[in-house]
Structure formats: structure tokens, C-alpha cells
Amino acid sequence: MVYLKELSLNDGQEILDMIREIGPGENGFGNSGWDMKDEEFEWYLRRNIRMAQGIGLEPHLVPETMYWLYVDDRPVGIIKLRPILNQNLRKLGGNIGYCIRPSERGKGYGVLILKEMMKKVKARGMSKVLLTVNEDNIASRKVIESNEGELYDIIDGKCRYWINVY
Ligand SMILES: CC(C)(COP(=O)(O)OP(=O)(O)OC[C@H]1O[C@@H](n2cnc3c(N)ncnc32)[C@H](O)[C@@H]1OP(=O)(O)O)[C@@H](O)C(=O)NCCC(=O)NCCS
């Protein structure tokens, strides 16, 4: 059984464990909170709920919603959706960022997490999404290309891909 679950105040220890396993993040995927204490977890959830709702955002930020990928009731990855692009995200960051926890990589979950997200993107009525990825991040480029991503350009070692929604 595979599904994306939106971050909520109901999230518990299994999510905190995954966030800690992922660490600070790699290849442009940021995982703030990886080093939080147990008692900071609720604050982390509340902050991200406000972020999703666009409440109290600094001017350079846009709303961002986080989801967990569950496979057979185990959380295996994180994916973030930013429905609105600003000038910075158009160059780097794009609409979507994702990460699979290290212990679950190489099992097809990277392809799966983006596939599940594309269903949400479609349900929101978005017509296309931008993804940016380091030119040498072969696994992530394969994830995007497996989800019909079309390479738009490569500038200074960063690829920009668009995925059209049909
Ligand atoms: C990129 C990432 C999400 C891929 O997750 P994953 O679950 O390992 O990916 P999958 O198992 O679905 O594999 C996707 C493809 O990459 C290939 N692949 C996986 N790991 C690879 C590696 N280390 N080197 C080269 N190719 C790799 C797989 O063979 C597969 O190719 P295929 O579609 O031709 O079979 C994961 O490595 C990750 O979280 N990396 C750190 C964060 C990150 O880079 N995020 C993306 C930022 S743009």
C-alpha cells in the first residue's frame, strides 16, 4: 500500500525518526529539523503547517506543503510542493523537492514519490511543474525522467526539467 500523507499535528515518532535518519539534506534538498530535540517536534510541525498555509512567511518565501511517502505503513520519504514559483525558485528549487530515507533507497521509491505527487499536482489543477537538479545527480534525474520530465536547460551544472500535466 502506497500513499502520500500531508504533514499534520498527528505525526509522531516514526516521522521524527525518518527526519533524523535523513540528516541535514543533500543535493539541494534541505531537511531542517533533522537535529531537533523530541520536545521541539510539535513546534516543527506547527511551523510547517503555517508554511503550507502561507502564514507569517518572510518576503522571499512562498507557501510549501510537506508530505510523507508511506509504503506498507512505514514512512520512507519526504516530498515538498511549492505551488507558486518566485524568481529564485525559477532558477533553483522549482515546485517540488524530495528525498528518500537512506535505508530505503534503490527500491524504486524515488520514482514512486514523484508519481504520487503528480496526482496531487493534477488534483490542484496545476498545468506543469518545474524541478531543478544537479547535473551529476543521476538517480534524481532518472526519477524525473521516469515521470515524463523534459529537460529544459543546464546552466552551471544545474538542470531544469518541466513536467506537463495531462
Ligand atoms: C534521488 C533519490 C530521491 C532517489 O531515490 P531512490 O528511491 O533511490 O530512487 P529509485 O530507487 O526510484 O531509483 C531511481 C533511478 O535511479 C537509479 N539509481 C538509484 N540510485 C542510484 C545511484 N546511486 N546512482 C545512479 N543511479 C541510481 C535507479 O537505478 C533508478 O533508475 P531506473 O529508473 O533506470 O531503474 C535519493 O537518492 C535521495 O533521496 N537522494 C538525496 C536527496 C536528493 O538528491 N533529492 C533530489 C534533489 S533534486
**133 falls within a domain:** no
What pLDDT is attached to residue 43? 98
Question: Can you tell me the distance from the alpha carbon of 38 to that of 72, in angstroms, rounded to the nearest whole number?
Answer: 25
Atom of ligand 1 nearest to the CA of 105: 8
**131 falls within a domain:** no
**138 falls within a domain:** no
In contact, 102 and 87? CB cutoff 8 Å: no
What residue's CA is closest to ligand 1, atom 40? 99
What pLDDT is attached to residue 105? 98
Domain that holds residue 56: 2-126
When computed from its CA atoms, the radius of gyration of the chain, rounded to whole angstroms, is: 15
Atom of ligand 1 nearest to the CA of 107: 11
**70 falls within a domain:** yes
What pLDDT is attached to residue 2? 98
**134 falls within a domain:** no
**141 falls within a domain:** no
What residue's CA is closest to ligand 1, atom 16? 139
Q: Is the CB of 143 under 6 A from ligand 1?
A: yes
**152 falls within a domain:** no
Walking along the chain (166 residues) 10 residues at a time, the average pLDDT comes out as 98 98 97 97 98 96 98 98 97 98 98 98 97 98 98 98 96
Q: Largest Cα–Cα distance of the chain, in whole Å? A: 44
**68 falls within a domain:** yes
Rounded distance from Cα 50 to ligand 1 centre (Å): 30
Amino acid identity, position 165: V
What pLDDT is attached to residue 83? 97
- What cell numbers appear for 5 in the block? 500523507
Atom of ligand 1 nearest to the CA of 27: 44
What pLDDT is attached to residue 162? 98
SS3 category, 21: helix
Give the number of domains in the chain. Answer: 1
Question: Can you tell me the distance from the alpha carbon of 75 to that of 71, in angstroms, rounded to the nearest whole number?
Answer: 6
What pLDDT is attached to residue 113? 98
Q: What is the CATH number of the domain that holds 51?
A: 3.40.630.30
What pLDDT is attached to residue 114? 98
Q: Is the CB of 165 under 6 A from ligand 1?
A: no
